[in-house]
Amino acid sequence: MAAESTATYRFGDLLALTRQSWLGQMSSRLERLGYTDYRRSDAAAMRMLWRGPLPIGHLGAGLGVTRQAARKVADGLEQRGFATTERDSRDTRQLNVTLTQTGRDYARAITAVIDELNREVAGRVSPAELAAADAVLRAALFDDSARQRASRLPRPAGQPPAEAPS
């Protein structure tokens, strides 16, 4: 009798589908709030800029992209009226990105939608399942930079903090 074949588990495919679904929900929920041009980089960029003006280089570092890619993000935000860019008064080589009032409103909407989606996901699983999913997602981070950024993210309630690497 031939050995039964089993399909290979495709974590990456499921992760990609999940990301696609999450982005679709972000887009449709923001559209219902009047923001019709959501872009994938908006959530991270807007939450970073919420804290205050940032030089393009710092925005890029926070997004994990080059200075050139960060400039494209900033240009997109500026074209849509969410941010302004201006030369730093102390160092004219530095270009700072600042949220406009419309941008601050958009950042609040993004944060509210993310909070809503997080609550919905947490409501679909047990605390133990949520902690296990968090652990798996952190284990799937292959580069040091991503692991370092993830280490600053809160863990699910009731989950102990990560131990320091030995």
pLDDT at 166: 40
Helix pair 67-79, 56-63: axis angle to 10 deg: 110
Region 11-36: mean pLDDT is 96
Region 130-141: mean pLDDT is 94
pLDDT at 159 over 70: no
pLDDT one-digit tens code per residue, 49-94: 999 999 999 999 999 899 999 999 999 999 999 999 999 788 878 8
In contact, 97 and 77? CB cutoff 8 Å = yes
Q: How confident is the model at residue 165 (pLDDT cuts 50, 70, 90)?
A: very low
- Domains, the chain, ranges and CATH? 21-141 (1.10.10.10)
Q: Which of 11-15, 91-95, 118-122 has the lowest mean pLDDT?
A: 91-95
Region 126-137: mean pLDDT is 94
Quick one: three-class SS letters along the chain? Answer: CCCCCCCCCCHHHHHHHHHHHHHHHHHHHHHHCCCCCCCCCHHHHHHHHHCCCEEHHHHHHHHCCCHHHHHHHHHHHHHCCCEEEEECCCCCCCEEEEECHHHHHHHHHHHHHHHHHHHHHHHHCCHHHHHHHHHHHHHCCCCHHHHHHHHCCCCCCCCCCCCCCC
pLDDT one-digit tens code per residue, 81-93: 999 999 978 887 8
pLDDT at 1: 53
Give the phi and the psi of residue 155 in degrees, each rounded to 5.
-95, 165
> Which residues, at least 6 apart from 138, have a Cβ–Cβ distance to it below 8 Å?
147, 150, 162
